Amino acid sequence: MRRTVALVVAVAAAVASSGCALRDELPDFPEAAPVVTAAPTDPGRPDAAPTTLSPDGFRTTERVAVRIRNVGCGGVGVGSGFAVGENVLVTNRHVVAGADTLQLSTYDGQDVLVETAGSAVVADLALVRTKEALPAAVTLAPADPAVGDRVEVVGYPGGGRLTSSTGHVLAYQDDPLGANAGRVMVTDAEARPGSSGSPVYDHEGRVVGVVYAASSAGDAALAVPVTTLQQLLESASFDADAPCD
Partner 1 sequence: MTGWQGDQAPRADTDPIWATATGRNATGGATTGPGDAPPRATGGADTATNTTAAIPRPADPVSSREEQPPPPVRRRRRPWAWIALTTLLVLALAGSSALAAYLWQTTTAWQSETERVEAVAAGLQAERDELAAELDQSTRDLAATDQQLREAQDRIRELAGEKAQTADEREVARLLVTSVADVATQLETCVRGQDQLITALSDLEAYDPESVVQYAESVRAACTQALRGNEELQRIVGAE
Amino acid symbol at 40: P
| Phi and psi, residue 121, nearest 5° | -95, -40
Residue 193 as a binder of partner 1 (CB under 8 A): the answer is: no
Nearer to partner 1, 3 or 234 (CB): 3
Which of 44, 47, 161, 245 touches partner 1 (CB under 8 A)? Answer: 161
**Residue 56: C-alpha distances to residues 49, 52, 59, 85, 153 (Å):** 14, 11, 9, 21, 21
Asked whether 79 and 224 are in contact (CB, 8 A), the reply is no
Residue 58 as a binder of partner 1 (CB under 8 A): the answer is: yes
Residue 71 as a binder of partner 1 (CB under 8 A): the answer is: yes
The least CB distance from residue 71 to partner 1, in Å, is 5
Q: How many residues lie near partner 1 (CB under 8 A)? A: 40
Residues 81 and 195: their CA atoms lie apart, in Å, by: 9
Which of 82, 107, 201, 238 touches partner 1 (CB under 8 A)? Answer: 107
Among residues 76, 66, 138, 142, the alpha carbon closest in space to that of 107 is found at: 66
Which of 51, 87, 105, 227 touches partner 1 (CB under 8 A)? Answer: 105
Binding mask 117-156 for partner 1 (x = CB under 8 A): ---------------------------------------x
Residue 27 as a binder of partner 1 (CB under 8 A): the answer is: yes
Amino acid symbol at 120: A
Amino acid symbol at 112: V
Asked whether 166 and 189 are in contact (CB, 8 A), the reply is yes
Residues 165 and 244: their CA atoms lie apart, in Å, by: 33
Nearer to partner 1, 7 or 121 (CB): 7
The least CB distance from residue 234 to partner 1, in Å, is 32
The least CB distance from residue 28 to partner 1, in Å, is 8
DSSP three-state, residue 200? strand
Among residues 141, 150, 158, the alpha carbon closest in space to that of 224 is found at: 141
The least CB distance from residue 164 to partner 1, in Å, is 10
Segment lying near partner 1 (by CB under 8 A), choices 67-75, 134-142, 144-152, 221-229: 67-75
Residues ≥6 apart with Cβ < 8 Å to 85 = 134, 137
Nearer to partner 1, 63 or 94 (CB): 63
Residues 159 and 165: their CA atoms lie apart, in Å, by: 15
Contact residues for partner 1, defined by CB under 8 A = 1, 4-5, 7-8, 11-12, 14-15, 19, 22, 26-30, 33, 36, 38, 56-58, 67, 69, 71, 75-76, 78, 103, 105-109, 156, 159-163
